[in-house]
Structures are given as structure tokens and as C-alpha cells.
Chains A and B, each alone.
Chain A
Amino acid sequence: MPDETPELEPHVAETTPEPAMTQEPSPEQIAVSTIPEQFSEPQTEESSRIAHVTFIALVGWLVPGLGHLLQRRWGRAAIGFIAVGTMALAGLWMRGNVFPPQRSDAFGVLGFIADAGAGIFYLLAHTFQKAGSDVSHAAGDYGTRMLATAGVLNLLFVLDALETSRGKKD
């Protein structure tokens, strides 16, 4: 048992705070001071990963298929752009209703969320269809559903791109 006593002494000496702040830091103190930086590296990786995933979601929403294109998923990128573009342009050419951002009507809010999912096709809707919507005919009503479908399909592509970028899906 006497052999254990000398081992405890240096440990106690290390844990006692040193009052002298003017002294040069010992190698142990330098090593201890670098520990927070070592722990902060995973946090930096996590934050950069979150930024990357957010970027993928934003560009995937703005331009359908671009989220997959940045991840070199050529097939899904092409199909995403063609499918969403076809549905959105068909809806606009059929003079479907483009829901503006609003809070008064619950169905209007849902319609806006669905339409806005189409990204660039929603933002440029009035450029593609200058005459505006006309739901007095059946074609305009079909067009409204086409536009909503285009937005929802693009949101599905955004979710898929997110899952792919997080490594949860091939």
C-alpha cells in the first residue's frame, strides 16, 4: 500500500489551481487548452453539413432537379426538371389559377404552398402566362390542379435530394 501514495501526489498537484498567472504555461496546460478546439471540429463538420443540406434543399426547390444534379444523380435530376416543368407549363397554358401568398383562406394557403413548391415555375408564372388565370372553363380548373401537382412533385424531389445528401438513400 505505501507504493500507491506517491502516485496520488502528482495527480493532486495537477488538479490544484496554480495561482501564479504570470508563469509560462506548462505543456500540460497547453494540451488542456487545445481540447475545446478538438471538440469543436465535429461541431464545425456538423454545421457545414447542415449548411450543405440546406443549400441542396433551397436550390432543389428553386430549380427542380438541381438538388439531384449537384449530387450527380443525373436521371432523377432530368426527370425532376422535365416532369415538374411539364406539369407547371401545362397548368399555366391551361390558364390555371396561381395562388398568391395569403392567410385569409385555408384552401388558399394550401394552394399557395402547393403552387410555390414549383420554385422557378411559380416565380415566373406571370411571365409564362401573361393572360392570367381563367377558371371559368374546365381547362382552367384542370390547369389549377396541374400547377399544384407540379409543386407537390417538386417538394417530393426536394425531400428525396435531402435524404440522398444526408446519406439515408442511394
Chain B
Amino acid sequence: MNLTHFQTMLLFAFVVSVVFAFLSRRRLGSRLRYAVWAFLAFLLVALAMGWLMYPASH
């Protein structure tokens, strides 16, 4: 199975967000909100870190 770095990151962020939501929240609505929030946070922080490191690669 060959996934790109971005696809791997998406899979990681999705699974970990869902797990954190189920372990830390009890109601379905709050779990859903927490999962979406954590997923977006993973995504945005990773993209920001990527762009921050981008000048170092050139």
C-alpha cells in the first residue's frame, strides 16, 4: 500500500481525532465536535509546520 505523505497524515489525523473524541467525550454531539476540531487542528498545524520548514529545503 503506497500512500503519499499527505494521505498518510490525513489517515493519522482522522483516526487519532476519532479516538481522542471517543475517549474524552461522552455524548455523540460533543464527540463529533471534538473530532472535527482535533482533525482540523492536526491538519492546520501540519500544513503550517510544512510551510515553515519549506525555505530550509531550498
Enumerate A68-116 residues with CB–CB distance to B below 8 Å: 75-76, 79-80, 83, 86-87, 90, 93-94
**Which of B8, B12, B16 gathers the greatest number of chain A CB atoms within 10 Å?**
B8
Q: Which of A29-37, A46-54, A149-157 interfaces with chain B?
A: A149-157
Given contacts A79-B18, A83-B15, A149-B12, contact A142 B3 (CB under 8 A): yes
Enumerate B17-44 residues with CB–CB distance to A below 8 Å: 18-19, 22-23, 26
- B57 at the A interface (CB under 8 A): no
How far is A138 from B7 in the complex, measured between Cα atoms in Å?
13
Can you identify 13 A-B contacts, CB atoms within 8 angstroms?
A: A76-B23, A83-B15, A90-B1, A90-B3, A138-B5, A146-B11, A146-B12, A149-B15, A153-B15, A153-B19, A156-B19, A157-B19, A170-B26
CB-defined interface of A147-170 with B at 8 Å, one 1/0 digit per residue? 001000100110010000000001
A-side binding surface: helix, strand, loop or mixed? helix
Interface size on A, residues (CB 8 A): 21
Residues of A close to B11: CB separation below 8 A? 86-87, 90, 146
Q: How far is the CB of A88 from chain B (nearest CB, A)?
A: 11
Question: Does A139 contact B3, Cβ atoms closer than 8 Å?
Answer: yes
